[in-house]
Amino acid sequence: AQSVTQPDIHITVSEGASLELRCNYSYGATPYLFWYVQSPGQGLQLLLKYFSGDTLVQGIKGFEAEFKRSQSSFNLRKPSVHWSDAAEYFCAIRLTGNQFYFGTGTSLTVIP
């Protein structure tokens, strides 16, 4: 069965430090891959997506993600975290227009 795993439930980083959020998926082929961010009281906002081509994808707010087929991973990174990045982050895969699978999310806390 298809699934998305985000192994880190909660991560705390210092402002200015680098960040990497992990995402692994289970699917027989390469799905469409997404990272979303959800701030408190808000809906999900798309950070970036990967369909094909260059495996390093740039997104909004200084985020990037790298697709590694051999590891079935799509990890999200940011070189220097800002306090405003504190939020919940969701990795998702899309197999068809109507098959969308999300991970359970990683909560990010940023300390001054």
Partner 1 sequence: ETGVTQTPRHLVMGMTNKKSLKCEQHLGHNAMYWYKQSAKKPLELMFVYSLEERVENNSVPSRFSPECPNSSHLFLHLHTLQPEDSALYLCASSQDTGLAYEQYFGPGTRLTVT
23 binds partner 1 (CB under 8 A): no
Give the C-alpha separation, 25 to 33, whole Å: 9
Annotate each residue in 24-63 with x if it binds partner 1 (CB under 8 A) or - if it does not, as one string. Answer: --------x---x----xxxxxx--x-x------------
Q: Which is nearer to partner 1, 87 or 103 (CB)?
A: 103
Give the C-alpha separation, 55 to 76, whole Å: 12
CB of 111 to partner 1, least distance (A): 23
**Going by DSSP bridges, is the β-strand pair 44-50/32-38 parallel, antiparallel, or unpaired?**
antiparallel
CB of 81 to partner 1, least distance (A): 23
Q: Given the rule CB under 8 A, which residues bind partner 1?
A: 4, 32, 36, 41-46, 49, 51, 90, 92, 94, 96-104
